[in-house]
Structures are given as structure tokens and as C-alpha cells.
Amino acid sequence: MKTGVCSKCGAREVRAGQGFWAKDAANFIAISPMTAWRGGKVAAVDHYVCAACGDVETYVSDASNLEYIAANWPRVE
């Protein structure tokens, strides 16, 4: 999806963009046990949407949050 080609249907109809309102509108996931207002940690995420088939992919925006997740979340085996 990040290349502009949908990973599900192959269409070049992927939409996303910096400065676009949807990127700044409360797109976060919790990455530690407590909620953000009680001392927890959240990570902003970017969404990529295919306008042809509706597939959505979500990526953590900040590399420092990826480091936290790698150090604290269990690996999928």
C-alpha cells in the first residue's frame, strides 16, 4: 500500500497523505497497559485506503514507538 499499489487487488487507487485532516484526527493505538491520560503510552498511526476495493492498512508513524513495541510486545511466532 505504501507504494501506491493495493496489496489486495493491485489497483493504483491508494489514498493517504501528509497534512490531510484524517491523518491528524485521533488516529492512535494504545501500546502500553494504561490509557494515555493515566500514564499510558499511545502511538499515532497512518492509514492507507484503497479507493477501489476498500482495503485499509495501518502503520505506526513514529520509529521510536516501533522500538518500544519491539522491546515490550510479544513476538508473533
Where on the chain is the footprint of Zn ion (CB under 5 A)?
6, 8-9, 11, 50, 52-53, 55
- The cell for 2 is 505504501
Comparing CB distances to Zn ion, the nearer of 9 and 22 is 9
CB of residue 46 to Zn ion, shortest distance in Å: 17
CB of residue 51 to Zn ion, shortest distance in Å: 8
Q: Is the dihedral angle over the CA atoms 31, 35, 40, 45 positive or is it negative?
A: positive
Comparing CB distances to Zn ion, the nearer of 6 and 43 is 6
Give residue 56's region: left, alpha or beta (phi > 0; psi -120 to 50): beta
Comparing CB distances to Zn ion, the nearer of 57 and 68 is 57
Cα separation, 16 vs 54, in Å, equals 13
